[in-house]
Amino acid sequence: MTSSVESLAPEEEIAGPKEVVGKSPLRIAFDRLRHDKIAIICAVIVALFAIIAIFAGPVTHLFGVSLNQQGLPCDYVVCGYSPDGTAIGLPLTGPPAHGFDIHHPFGLAPDTGADNLATWIYGARTSLLLALLSTVGSTVIGVLLGLIAGFAGGVIDTVISFLTDLFLTIPFLLAAIAFSAILSDRFGDQPDKWETWSFRSLILILVVFSWMGTTRLIRGEVVSLREREFVQAARVIGVPTRRILFKEILPNLVAPIVVTISLSLPAFVSAEAGLSFLGIGVVGRPSWGQTIDAATNYWQEYPLYLWEPVLGIIVLVVALNLLGDAIRDALDPKTRR
């Protein structure tokens, strides 16, 4: 009798209940990104740009191009002379007057005869390095100030909020121009120092005028988290404030921090190109913004010279923005796909 009853039991009861596997929020977000085709494509594009920037030397060697062209400019361009006596002219090989040159796939630059592909590759390194350093700096400052303001409250919160509002009122472009003029007056007659300080100063300018949004975001999150049960329990048992901030609260801020980083990178890439185009960016090293500035004088007869850095900026910025949007949606617990 017992055996007949057991034979009628469902297979699930015989096998036992299925094991339920829990997933962390980051694991759920990763699974969402893994099934998002646009996010995967954008991640591949960003990774490709990162590889080009990191391994700029081997990549240029692979294509057989270099920043250091051998010979005089007249070996590469039609030599004419501007009123100030400098050699000018269009390339003797490749576009716009000649066909494709396999030795110089992106063509040569007017005036100097520099290889455009090598300049483009090293310009990608400059843009990504500057954007990465600026993003890290602004994120660290914003997160620290947001943690302190949101958790401490009172006078400290008031002072930090006032500083945040104060920096938001300062016009970024005017401050960048003024700071660049000061550095030019200080180091303009020292080319070696001016090259270093122009890069550092641009990072400093971008960091100083970009931490405010992160501070406001983190402060709002901390204000809501500091009243949660796990934070109150930690305070009751005497856990040090530093440990509460960095061990209890900060791990719960991973999602907004990741989103902030993913959206800050494309903004800084665009900012670097724009400031370099205006003549207040980096000097002494290849830059997409500097190439755009130089190419505007040859727009009619040599449009490819301008489109190469412009398309590089467009592709990188669009990929970073779409990837940032995908990360934000993946980390949002209210989003269901």
Same domain, 297 and 193: yes
Same domain, 277 and 318: yes
Output the pTM of the full model: 0.79
Domain annotation covers residue 44: no
Domain annotation covers residue 10: no
At residue 22, the pLDDT reads 57
Same domain, 78 and 174: no
Same domain, 109 and 209: no
Provide the domain limits for residue 182.
50-56+117-331
For 220, counting Cβ atoms within 10 Å of its Cβ (0-12 exposed, 13-18 middle, 19+ buried), the class is: middle
Domain annotation covers residue 18: no
- The secondary structure of residue 87, as a DSSP letter, is E
Residue 272 token pair = 């670097």
Separation between Cα atoms, residue 120 and residue 123, nearest integer Å: 5
Same domain, 104 and 167: no
Same domain, 95 and 239: no
Q: For each of the chain's 337 residues, which pLDDT tens digit applies?
A: 444 444 444 544 455 455 545 566 667 777 777 788 888 999 999 999 999 999 988 999 888 888 876 555 676 677 665 566 555 677 877 888 778 888 888 888 887 788 889 999 998 998 888 889 999 999 999 999 999 998 888 899 999 999 999 988 888 878 777 777 776 666 656 666 667 777 888 888 888 888 998 999 999 889 888 888 888 888 888 888 888 888 888 888 887 888 888 888 888 888 888 887 777 777 778 888 888 888 888 888 888 888 999 999 899 989 988 888 888 777 765 554 4
At residue 191, the pLDDT reads 62
Same domain, 234 and 311: yes
Contact 45, 59 (CB under 8 A): no
Separation between Cα atoms, residue 151 and residue 253, nearest integer Å: 13
Domain annotation covers residue 232: yes
Domain annotation covers residue 36: no
Same domain, 170 and 202: yes
Domain annotation covers residue 271: yes
At residue 12, the pLDDT reads 47
Separation between Cα atoms, residue 203 and residue 211, nearest integer Å: 12
For 267, counting Cβ atoms within 10 Å of its Cβ (0-12 exposed, 13-18 middle, 19+ buried), the class is: buried
Phi, psi for 320 (deg, rounded to 5): -65, -40
Same domain, 143 and 83: no
Q: What is the CATH number of the domain that holds 318?
A: 1.10.3720.10
Separation of first and last alpha carbons in the chain: 50
At residue 87, the pLDDT reads 58
Domain annotation covers residue 17: no
Residue 82 token pair = 């501007």
Domain annotation covers residue 62: no
At residue 133, the pLDDT reads 92
Separation between Cα atoms, residue 137 and residue 259, nearest integer Å: 15
Phi, psi for 5 (deg, rounded to 5): -65, -45
Same domain, 230 and 99: no
Contact 80, 88 (CB under 8 A): yes
Same domain, 165 and 200: yes
The label of the residue with tokens 């302190």 reads 148
At residue 138, the pLDDT reads 92
**How does DSSP assign 225-259, residue by residue?**
HTTSHHHHHHHHTT--HHHIIIIIIGGGGHHHHHH
**How many structural domains are present in the chain?**
2
Same domain, 198 and 317: yes
